Structure 1
Amino acid sequence: MEVQIDSGRCQGHGRCYDIAPGVFGEDVEGYGNVPGDGSVRPGEEREARLAVASCPERAITVVEGV
């Protein structure tokens, strides 16, 4: 499973990195980002999905089977 953030849609609410800090980070302006290649480590899938569901702009996409 991988996650991706559409930087054009992200408004910097920070819910993703508050909910799943092991999956998401923030840039210098407070916008969410995905460190590394976006792969979600085993055991962090639940938090990643919760962060995706909590994004008000729906800026996060999950890619399954990667």
Structure 2
Amino acid sequence: MRIKLDRTLCDGFMRCAEHAPEIFSLDDWGYASLTSDGTIEPADEDKVRRALLDCPAHAIIELRSVPE
């Protein structure tokens, strides 16, 4: 799984860091950033998917690979 965080959409609700704090870090104002390049290990996919679904601003986007 790969994700992207659109920081221009983030409104600082902090729900992503509640669900997956090892993937999302928060700045002093509560706005999120990714702690990695967006590649999510299988063990963390459920937490990240929950964060994606729970984000009121829809700032977390799952990147789907294009079949060759």
Any stretches of 5+ residues in structure 1 without a counterpart?
none
Match of 2:48? Answer: 48
Structure with larger Rg: 2
Match of 2:6? Answer: 6
Moved over 2 A (4+): none
Q: CA RMSD in A?
A: 1.2
Match of 1:23? Answer: 23
> 1:7 aligns to what SS in structure 2?
coil
Task: Give the share of equivalent positions with the same residue, in percent.
Answer: 34
Cα deviation, residue 5, structure 1: 1.2
Which residue type is aligned with residue 29 of structure 2? Answer: E
Cα deviation, residue 42, structure 1: 2.1
Cα distance in 2 for partners of 1:2, 1:57 equals: 19
Cα distance in 2 for partners of 1:46, 1:64 equals: 16
Cα distance in 2 for partners of 1:32, 1:49 equals: 16
**Aligned length in residues:** 65
CA contact (8 A) 1:3 1:34 kept: no
* CA displacement 1:7-26 (0-9 Å, x = unmatched): 11100010001111122111
Cα distance in 1 for partners of 2:58, 2:38 equals: 17
Q: Which moved more, 1:3-12 or 1:26-35?
A: 26-35
1:58 aligns with 2:24: no
State the TM-score, normalizing by the size of structure 2: 0.84
